A and B are shown apart, each in its own frame.
Chain A
Amino acid sequence: MLLSTITLSDYLILSGLLFSIGVFGVLTRKNAIAVLMGIELMLNAANINLVAFSKFIDTGLNGQIFALFSIVIAAAEVAVALAIVISIYKTTRTIDLDKEDTLKG
């Protein structure tokens, strides 16, 4: 199987691997910024899917354009998320997610 033609499934499995690694990061990390990095990994996995589908089973460029929009939204998301993290840090002096339980009843 190795070094044969690379098909759509190979790209999808690669993106599945990347997504699972991102899930692991999001679930296990305590640092808010590290969790954000896990989310970035998952977003990238989704983008690989979009571009791969665009290459193999799309007649136009729809998949690539979706990936572009997804990248734009990821940039906006990171800006807002980091602003939230920094403003939380300024009030509570920590970005340890286990200690951010102000809303707990």
Chain B
Amino acid sequence: MSVNSYTVQAVFFYIFAALIVGSALLVVLLRNIVRSAFALFFTLFGVAGIYILLGADFVGVTQVLIYIGGVLILIVFGVMLTHNVYSVDIFNKLGTLVMGTVSAIVTFTMIYYAIKPVSWLYIGYKANAPTTGPIGRELMTSYLLPFELASVLLVLAMIGAAYLIRSEVKVKKAAGNGGPPGERPADGIRKEN
């Protein structure tokens, strides 16, 4: 509660903020997409650090587990499965680049001037308590319906993803216009049927 602890908090905030912004810039600017994926790793870790700093331990751990352990692995898989990525020129034409920069700056300016003048109605200091128990209780009471819907959504997404990839292979086999050069496990399984 002392000034000292606030200063420590501020130092960590700026460290994580620098990590997030720096690596996010690398994500969007690097030419090599594999390196972009690795930069994304640091961005996601920085965001997890921000969550911990905000006293959201459960969300922070979830971020590490799902984003870094799941989403990032999926993205790296996507990069590897679609791999003439190196030859594809990653950036658009110069005009698009300029337009993208302008829209990003305009977006940030808008957000900045929307945030800056507001004086928020703080509820006062909130001690950092473990959140896992309360979140579990909330999920099983007030948020039970969204919780169940989320599980249904995840199953649907999983089935949908599997279906999308497999049905494509089946269509290709029927059309017979040649498969991709490297045979993938999914193709092999499909062709044995």
Contacts and interface: CB of A to CB of B under 8 A. Distances in A.
Q: Are A and B part of the same complex?
A: yes
Interface in B33-55: 33, 36-37, 40, 43-44, 47, 50-51, 54-55
Given A16-B111, A41-B24, A64-B131, A75 B70 contact: yes
A76 B139 CA distance: 19
A25 B28 contact: yes
B185 interface: no
B123 A29 contact: no
Given A27-B103, A64-B135, A91 B168 contact: yes
A59 B165 contact: no
Interface residues of B, number: 92
Given A4-B10, A61-B135, A24 B21 contact: no
Contacts of A3: 7, 10-11, 14
Interface string A1-39: 011111111111110111111111101111101101110
Contacts of B62: 68, 71
B85 A33 contact: yes
Given A13-B112, A83-B161, A31 B88 contact: yes
Interface string A44-83: 1001100110111111111011011101111111111011
B75 A33 contact: yes
Contact of B172 (A16, A58, A85, A90): A90
A72 B135 contact: no
B62 to A, nearest CB: 6
A80 B59 contact: no
Interface residues of A, number: 78
Contact of A25 (B13, B27, B58): B27
Contacts of A9: 115-116, 118, 120
Interface in B140-185: 143, 146, 150, 153-154, 156-158, 160-162, 164-165, 167-169, 172, 179-180
25 contacts: A3-B7, A9-B118, A14-B21, A20-B107, A22-B28, A23-B100, A24-B100, A25-B27, A28-B100, A31-B33, A31-B85, A44-B44, A47-B63, A48-B51, A55-B54, A56-B122, A71-B59, A74-B71, A75-B66, A76-B157, A79-B74, A82-B78, A86-B82, A89-B82, A94-B84
Given A21-B27, A47-B63, A78-B74, 16 more contacts: A14-B50, A19-B111, A21-B24, A21-B28, A24-B100, A57-B120, A59-B123, A69-B146, A71-B66, A72-B150, A75-B66, A75-B154, A79-B158, A82-B161, A83-B160, A90-B180
